[in-house]
Amino acid sequence: MSKKDIVVVGGGGAGAMFVKEILRKFDRARYTLTLVNARPCYIYLPTTVRMAVTDHGNLEDVVLMPFDRLLGDAGTLVLGTVVAIEKQTPGQGGDVVLRDGTRLHYDALVLAPGTRLENPLDYPDSREDIQKYIGDWRQKIKDAEHIVFSGGGPTSVEIAGEIREYFPDKHTTIVQSRSLPFNNIYRDNFRRRILKESQAFGIEFVLNDYLDETVPKDGHVTTRKGQALRADLVITSHGGHPNTEFIQSLGADVLSKYGFVRTNPTLELPDHPGVFCIGDVIDNPERNRLGKYVKHVNVAVPNVLARLNGKEPKKKYTGSIETIAISIGSERGVSYIGILWGICLGSWITSIFQSRHLAIQGGRWVMGYGWTTG
Ligand SMILES: Cc1cc2nc3c(=O)[nH]c(=O)nc-3n(C[C@H](O)[C@H](O)[C@H](O)COP(=O)(O)OP(=O)(O)OC[C@H]3O[C@@H](n4cnc5c(N)ncnc54)[C@H](O)[C@@H]3O)c2cc1C
């Protein structure tokens, strides 16, 4: 009997967790596993907010992780960018096509391409270029006295917190379109705590306003409402863009208006048996968090195996409670559990679980390095 091929596109937060879990479950005599990733390493995003700002601790040595320990000798890494998916008869698998023309056959396909972020987290593909990019952005931040953020979401708050921690003399201002930081998926009590803790750490806010300018002129930027702000550097953080262009090759109705992937509760794409999606690019109202992707993986793994055994996928993703832990420098932060009135936890607990190490242990554990910070 010929082996069935499982192909995973994207070795980031969700893809790596999927690979780890399916390799624990699958029979090597029956299946092959191929991970396709554009970069030669996994980038553990929660810790990048510090890595972007400082060379203290050389965080790139722990944040960028090769795939060898994750895959061992049970899976294969193919380095490259997928540009199209070509299906055969429904349920019969197909090929993923890479930019260099390589074709990889799949019987089951798992899509986890994540989001393209903005500077200073818009990493290039080669290890060498990533290293240079990190160095260049650290220098830009070091050279700027006044740094203005466009967008008041978690990434802006966390990067601003790191800048205040490592460069307490620099001025950081966040311009946010709403009356409080973050999106209104989080309750106001939490958003007020974020505002208060950030301000107490010296981060300034301009609320109910927008910043469209990305390059300062004469040391200033001007908001939509006409407020001039001192600025040597603008960091834009509007949530990124899903890396899903290549998935359109499955048909126009596969993606939502904003480029997210429509799935059934089984995380399989409607009308595309054997093609599953996990991670940031799923079309649902939830915020992107790795904790949820443990649940995605726990649904996708049995469903992929069911499909490969000629059965209907049964396991369903029923949603997750919104939880988030936000660092504001290494000793401050606020955590949120979206139950009841919205439970908030302060700096003492958040610094232990998030701010000090930015959860790097979790990322390293997934990649086979044990529960360590370095
Ligand atoms: C600054 C920041 C801090 C965060 N902090 C936390 C936190 O503290 N806790 C938490 O739970 N979550 C956190 N998150 C969210 C979490 O990191 C993401 O939700 C998670 O990494 C997304 O996983 P993913 O696999 O969907 O995408 P990604 O991790 O982005 O991985 C996608 C991978 O796919 C590859 N790829 C993309 N397109 C292609 C293609 N066409 N062909 C081949 N490869 C491709 C990319 O190179 C990348 O390796 C944070 C996110 C950010 C940006």
Tens digits of per-residue pLDDT, 88-124? Answer: 776 689 999 999 999 999 999 999 999 999 999 999 9
Structural domains in the chain plus CATH codes = 4-38+80-117+240-308 (3.50.50.60), 127-239+321-366 (3.50.50.60)
Question: What is the 311 CA–ligand 1 centroid distance (Å)?
Answer: 30
Question: What is the 11 CA–ligand 1 centroid distance (Å)?
Answer: 9
pLDDT at 87: 85
3-state DSSP assignment of residue 180: coil
Beta strand residue intervals within 139-271, DSSP E = 146-150, 171-176, 203-207, 220-222, 228-230, 233-236, 241-242, 268-269
Quote the mean pLDDT of the chain: 96
pLDDT at 209: 98
Q: Is the pLDDT at 327 greater than 80, yes or no? A: yes
Are 173 and 232 in contact by the 8 Å Cβ rule? The answer is no
Cis peptide bond N-terminal to 120, omega within 30: yes
Q: Which of 100, 159, 288 to mutate to test the pocket of ligand 1 (most atoms within 8 A of CB)?
A: 288
Distance CA 125, CA 292 (A): 26
pLDDT at 11: 98
Tell me the pLDDT band of 14, cut-offs 50, 70 and 90: very high
Residue 19 backbone phi and psi in degrees, to 5: -60, -45
Question: What is the 38 CA–ligand 1 centroid distance (Å)?
Answer: 12
Question: What is the average per-residue pLDDT within 126-142?
Answer: 98
Question: What is the average per-residue pLDDT within 185-195?
Answer: 97
Ligand 1 atom closest to the CA of 279, numbered from 1: 26
Burial of 196 (0-12, 13-18, 19+ CB in 10 A): exposed
Tens digits of per-residue pLDDT, 283-300? Answer: 999 999 999 999 999 999
Enter the tokens of residue 253: 């109705």
Are 275 and 111 in contact by the 8 Å Cβ rule? The answer is yes
pLDDT at 217: 96
Q: Is the pLDDT at 373 greater than 90, yes or no? A: no
Question: What is the 140 CA–ligand 1 centroid distance (Å)?
Answer: 24
pLDDT at 90: 66
Question: What percent of the chain is predicted at pLDDT more than 70?
Answer: 99
Q: Is the pLDDT at 41 greater than 70, yes or no? A: yes
Distance CA 224, CA 210 (A): 5
Q: Which of 21, 121, 243 to mutate to test the pocket of ligand 1 (most atoms within 8 A of CB)?
A: 243
Enter the tokens of residue 223: 């908001």
Question: What is the average per-residue pLDDT within 203-214?
Answer: 98
* Residue 227, CB-side half-sphere exposure with 13 Å CA sphere: 15
Distance CA 71, CA 26 (A): 13
CA nearest ligand 1 atom 5, residue: 46
The helix (run of H) or strand (run of E) holding residue 7 is strand 4-9
pLDDT at 371: 86
Question: What is the 262 CA–ligand 1 centroid distance (Å)?
Answer: 18
Ligand 1 atom closest to the CA of 324, numbered from 1: 9
Residues contacting ligand 1 via CB (< 6 Å): 9-15, 36-39, 45-46, 48-49, 81-82, 112-115, 117, 121, 155, 243, 246, 279-280, 288-291, 359
Q: Is the pLDDT at 137 greater than 80, yes or no? A: yes
Question: What is the 292 CA–ligand 1 centroid distance (Å)?
Answer: 12
Q: Which of 45, 53, 297, 337 to mutate to test the pocket of ligand 1 (most atoms within 8 A of CB)?
A: 45
Beta bridge partners of 108: 6
CA 140, 59, 156, 255 torsion-angle sign: positive
Question: What is the 115 CA–ligand 1 centroid distance (Å)?
Answer: 6
CA nearest ligand 1 atom 20, residue: 13
ipTM of the complex: 0.99
